[in-house]
Amino acid sequence: MTEAVGTVMELLPSELVKVVLEGGTHQVIAHHADPVRRNYVRLLVGDRVRVALMPRDQGRGRVLERL
């Protein structure tokens, strides 16, 4: 899996977030990884996050941590 850093731009239903990767050229729809959800980490618009991109679909990902 490829990892990237981005900024949360929008909160979507079902615990999904829209993340714009550094450089502002690529947007990703991401869901919370289990450790993030288990520790009750709330993501807000403007938070910087580390995202693991899916190998088959670079438009989907998983939020690994809030930076």
- Which residue range(s) make up the domain with 38? 2-66
Residue 16: predicted pLDDT: 93
| Cα-based torsion angle of the residue sequence 21, 30, 44, 23 in order, rounded to the nearest 10 degrees | 0
Helix, strand, coil percentages, rounded to 5, for the chain: 5, 55, 40
pTM for this entry: 0.85
CATH at residue 19: 2.40.50.140
Backbone angles phi, psi at 23, to 5 degrees: 100, -20
Q: How many residues does the chain have?
A: 67
Total domains in the fold of the chain: 1
At 14-63, the pLDDT tens digits run: 889 999 999 888 999 999 887 766 777 788 999 999 999 988 988 999 99
